[in-house]
Structure 1
Amino acid sequence: MAQEAMLTRTPDGTHHLDGGDLGCARLLVLLRDVVAGLGAGEVVHLTTTDPVAPIDLPVWCEMTGHRYLGPVTGGDRATYAVQVCATARPTDPERPWHVR
């Protein structure tokens, strides 16, 4: 059973979304919902065990207009950084991989 994701904020202001073992579709829904509530320039670190995240996240960012910053080093789990963009394109509510 997949665990629920948890969003926290670090002292430096970076948001951390722990996606645990959620698959790509659920991760993108969560990430989309998180970035919708953040301001331009804010950064989200997404931690996940999903093996396709390093492929899907850059593509999703390119599609939506957010900026993929790449892997975050130094942790014991795979973590990827995304910067929120003010001019991002919204996605379909049920399918975060489809731009409206």
Structure 2
Amino acid sequence: MRKEMISMDAKLVFLWMTWKKKKKISNASDHISSTSFTNAATLLAENIRTVGLEISRSIFSEVLIQQKSEMTIQKSALKLYQTLCEVEGLTEDKYYHAL
């Protein structure tokens, strides 16, 4: 029983020392000024805004590319439609199949 007691005391001392060390570390960080936090928050907000603008530009660019592609497809489909209308003997099924 005495051995268990010493072992338990050693564990408690270790836990207490670990807690004390963590407390010292956390107390050291207490010296950070509110100005530092404000500056960090401002910088973070600026970075978030910059990333947001870049994402918006990228999305806008992709939308423009998609719209141009759709216009090209529509023009090609119209040309094909006009050409198919000129083909004699084309059944309606073959006409739609070609489109």
TM over 0.5: no
Larger Rg: 2
Higher strand share: 1
Say which structure, 1 or 2, has more relative contact order (CA 8 Å, 6+ apart).
Answer: 1
